[in-house]
Amino acid sequence: MENNRKKMKELKADEVRWTCSDDCFSFRSTTELSKGKGVIGQERAIEAIEFGMGIDSKGFNIFAMGPTGVGRTSIVKEFIDRKAQEKPVPDDWCYIYNFDTPNRPIAVHMPAGKGRTFRDDMEKLKKNLKEDIPKALEHESYEKDRNRLMNEMQRQQTEELNRLEQKAQKQGFTIQRGAQGFVIMPLKEDGNPMGSQELAQLSEEERNKIQNEGQSIQDELQEVLRKIRTSEGETKEKLEELQKNTILFAIEHHLEGLKEKYGEYQRINEYLDDLKNDVVTNAENIAQMEQGEGRQMSPQQQAAAVQQQNILNRYTVNLIVDNSDTKGAPVISEMRPTHKKLIGKLERKAQFGMLYTDFNMIKPGVLHQANGGYLVLEAMHLFQYPFAYNVLKHALKEGEAKITDQMEVFQAISTESLDPEPIPLDIKVVLIGNPRVYFILQQLDEEFQELFKVKADFNSFMDRSQESIDMYAGFLAGRCEEEGWKPFDNSGVARMVEHGMELTQDQEKLTTKFADVCDVAREANYIAEQRKGDSISRDDVYTAIMAKRRRANRIEEYIQEIISRGDIYIDTDQRVTGQVNGLSVVDLGDYSFGRPSRITAQTFVGRSGVVNIDREADMSGPVHNKGVLILSGYMNGTYGRWKPVSLSASLVFEQLYSGVDGDSASSTELYALLSSLADIPLKQNIAVTGSVNQRGTVQPVGGVSQKVEGFYDICKAIGLTGEQGVIIPQQNVKNLMLREDVVKAIEEGQFHIYPVSTVAEGMEILTDKPFGERQDDGSFPEDTVNYSVEQTLLQYAKAWDMYSKDKSASQADKS
């Protein structure tokens, strides 16, 4: 047997793990290196980001696509921050009151810093109005002019009424003022008004005479009253004009100063003109505010005070975007992109049992705050909040940020609300997400491609080279400096590089998931601190890796335990016909490990072909089913070229109580099937992984390192004999990054790895028999696996023919 192994192709210890020698580095500690950044290995993504940043055309927003931990967010922010410094600071944006249409506030913009100044100037104006208007209306000259107008009106009214009274008395009448107005009464001889009873005692002729004479007085009275009303109207107009001129005299110098200061902004000038008219109209309400402050008020007075305050609030400036302190273009990252966070909201407050809102309660969203700059969002989060994705799409498509009242969407009855003017958008949006989200959006949303035309594809690995290894070292040096870690010595850096290959499961690649790299480095630093070391060494990194594994491998150890106890039967020593130890990977999310599974095959006479028991029990996935069907193709192609293959066979993963998928066990199943047909036992101390095609070529599979380590751990738990090992596809050799203890066992000859390219090579290792190639006459050499298989198939065919003939004869006799 030992001589036979020498014929087998077996991997050496230096082939199952690429070891980074300390000699790879010219430094002894990372303190000797310049600070590096975690952007290595992402040249393609960086190129796309730079391209997207440089184009200002509509739709050239960026989707940064890649798995978590590859530096998507940090790289995007680094490049955005750099680009933002080169761009000008965008304008401030304010909402002001619309005096013509109050429910549609006006949006105005001005250079950065001007918005805050304008807001503060309007606050000063409000203060001045509250102080100057009461003073103006209480001024001696205003009161004197007002009294003069009032006295003149009263004098004219008195003169007219006195004149008419004198005329009425001459005609025997008097004019009296009553609750219902003026009343004309006839006079008696003694000069007193005649009562109704006395009037009734007069003759009809006398009453008619009094009525006729009184009618003329009544007509003159109506004319006098008309003149009085005209006089009152004229006086009112004069009083209003007096008040207007007085108010304007008190406030116009404030407004003129503002108009001069903001003369270049047409909408603000129009707003100030409207404001002046509104102040004049509401001057008395504003004056009463000063009088009512600081005293107890009744509910009615409180309501009036609120109304007065609402009037003054019209003159407030709602500064929703203030870029006065911004350097370059704004960069906003929002990790909770709700509808309100994106587009803003209309707040409400309770007033006298009702919800009230006005333009001062308009709150901006991140689209407003990032306007003129960059907005970074997590793509997946957009779908965790209702309407968020649609709001973002609408804003980018229309090129404007329109604040909508979300309550209107859910209200059964429409109520009046605010409809603020939309704000034009000039923004670059960067979505960060995994490839699955990107491709789903591409498939289901036809507008997505029009809005996000730049894809920055972040890779999870990069080629291993001396340059990339040096960049790894620079990255670690930078993190040590930033986080205050102890420096790595060259052995520690070498072990971190090896861990980068372990994460990719490829000797020719290094991971770019620097979040995972940093986690191990952080734990290694802690271990170095605990031992009070001066630097982080290879042993510290190894201890950190094993500690992390220890925290996650409880289930793995439990499976190893029940296999060692025999609860799950795995033979690692005998030879058994139709049975092979296959290998699979259990993925727990944060940790994955390999475990062996016993695969058995039974063959018998029939024409049912290869039956997958797991499939019949609905425990097999489509890829695994495809792998089993490939076995039928191999069998028919190899043994049925000139005659039909009469075969019934069953395959199953023994003691497997969960589903199975993938084709990595298809070569294992084929070995079991051939063993059963040839009646040649297979070594149970050698496990197998690898898929196979219809021509018998063994193809690479995933998770090969975990599978090898998983079988090694079982063998070690049961007891290493020096004969155990694993057959892997030749193409997977480069994917081996085995643990140090497994490498040591291989180096000491306690464990073996056999790479194979064909089923023939694998069967020869498992059986110690030649596989056999078809000769010129079409037969296989005797004492080979293929010869035994073919002979069995011939026997099956003859048995089936005899059975068929007997069955036909029996049916003929019955008929």
DSSP secondary structure, 273-329, as one string: HHHHHHHHHTHHHHHHHHHHTTS---HHHHHHHHHHHHHHHTT--EEEE--TT--SS
Task: Give me the pLDDT at residue 3, please.
Answer: 43
Looking at residues 226-232, what average pLDDT do you find? 84
Is the per-residue pLDDT at 585 higher than 90? yes
DSSP secondary-structure letter at 378? Answer: E
For residues 787-810, give the mean pLDDT.
Answer: 86
Residues 30-36, mean pLDDT to the nearest whole number: 64
pLDDT for residue 616 is more than 80:
yes
The confidence band for 196, taking pLDDT boundaries of 50, 70 and 90, is low
What is the structure's pLDDT at 2? 44
pLDDT band at 32 (very low <50, low <70, confident <90, very high): low
The pLDDT, as a whole number, for residue 411 is 55
806 or 21: which leads in pLDDT: 21
pLDDT at 350 over 80: no
Q: Please give the average per-residue pLDDT across 612-634, as a whole number.
A: 88
Greater model confidence, 732 or 409: 732
Length of the chain measured in residues: 815
Does the pLDDT of residue 677 top 50, yes or no?
yes
Task: Give the mean pLDDT of 198-206.
Answer: 69
pLDDT-derived band at 815, boundaries 50, 70, 90: low
Mean pLDDT, rounded, for 731-750: 95
3-state class of 689 per DSSP? coil
Cα(608)–Cα(632) distance, integer angstroms: 11
| Average pLDDT score over residue span 609-619 | 86
Query: Band of the pLDDT at 298, cuts 50, 70, 90?
Result: low
How far apart are alpha carbons 57 and 59 in whole angstroms? 6
Percent of all residues in the chain with a pLDDT value above 70, rounded to a whole number: 91
Average pLDDT estimate for 55-76: 89
Among 91, 127, 96, 93, smallest CA distance to 270 is for 96
Cα–Cα distance for residue pair 71/515, rounded to 1 Å: 7
Q: What is the pLDDT of residues 244-297, one digit of tens each?
A: 888 888 888 889 999 999 989 999 999 999 999 999 888 888 877 755 555 555
Which residue blocks in 565-621 are alpha helix, DSSP H?
613-616
Residue 15, Cβ density class (10 Å: 0-12 exposed, 13-18 middle, ≥19 buried): middle
Short-list 291, 336, 282, 268, CA closest to 310 = 282
- The string of pLDDT tens digits covering residues 369-428 is 999 999 999 999 999 998 899 999 999 999 999 988 766 655 544 556 789 999 999 999
pLDDT value for 5? 43
Which is more confident, 7 or 63?
A: 63
Determine contact, residues 601/672, Cβ cutoff 8 Å. yes
Strand partners, 609: 648
Write down the pLDDT at residue 1. Answer: 41
The pLDDT of residue 115 is: 94
Please determine, for residue 724, whether its predicted confidence score (pLDDT) is greater than 90. Answer: yes
Rg over CA atoms, the chain: 48
Token digits of residue 318: 């709602």
Q: Is the pLDDT of residue 300 over 70?
A: no
Predicted confidence band at 802 (pLDDT cuts at 50, 70, 90)?
confident
- Residue-level pLDDT at 416: 65
Contacts of 668 (CB under 8 A, 6+ apart): 580, 581, 582, 583, 599, 688, 689, 690
How much is the average pLDDT of 695-721? 95
Phi, psi of 619 (to 5 degrees): -115, 10
Can you list the pairs that 346-350 forms with residues at least 24 positions away whose Cβ atoms lie under 8 Å? Answer: 346/403, 346/405, 346/417, 346/418
Closest CA to 275 of 254, 291, 289: 254
Residue 653 sits at φ, ψ, to 5 deg, of: -85, 110
* DSSP designation for 268: H
How far is Cα 542 from Cα 499, in angstroms, rounded to an integer? 9
Rounded to whole angstroms, how far apart are CA atoms 318 and 93? Answer: 9
Cβ neighbours of residue 805 closer than 8 Å, sequence gap 6 or more:
none
The pLDDT score that the predictor gives to residue 393 is 94
How confident is the model over 648-676, as a mean pLDDT? 91
Of 17-26, 404-413, 603-612, the range with the highest mean pLDDT is: 603-612
Indicate the pTM of the whole model.
Answer: 0.80
In which region does residue 609 sit, left (phi positive, over 0), alpha (psi from -120 to 50) or beta (all else)?
A: left
Amino acid letter, residue 330: P
**Burial class of residue 45 (count of CB atoms within 10 Å of its CB; 0-12, 13-18, 19+):** buried
| Cα dihedral 146, 149, 152, 157 in deg (nearest 10) | -100
pLDDT at 708 over 80: yes
The average confidence (pLDDT) of the chain is: 87
If you average pLDDT over residues 102-123, what whole number do you get?
A: 94
**Candidate from 44-58, 513-527, 760-774 with smallest mean pLDDT:** 44-58
- Give the residue, 432 or 416, on which the prediction is more confident: 432
For 104-108, 161-165, 644-648, which range has the lowest pLDDT when averaged over its residues? 161-165
Whether 807 has a pLDDT exceeding 80, the answer reads no
pLDDT number for residue 161? 80
**Cα separation, 518 vs 506, whole angstroms:** 20
User: Tokens standing for 575?
Assistant: 């030879």
The Cα–Cα gap between 129 and 296 comes to: 23
In the chain, the N- to C-terminal Cα span, in Å, equals: 61
The answer, yes or no, to whether residue 727 has pLDDT greater than 80, is: yes
pLDDT exceeds 60 at position 607 = yes
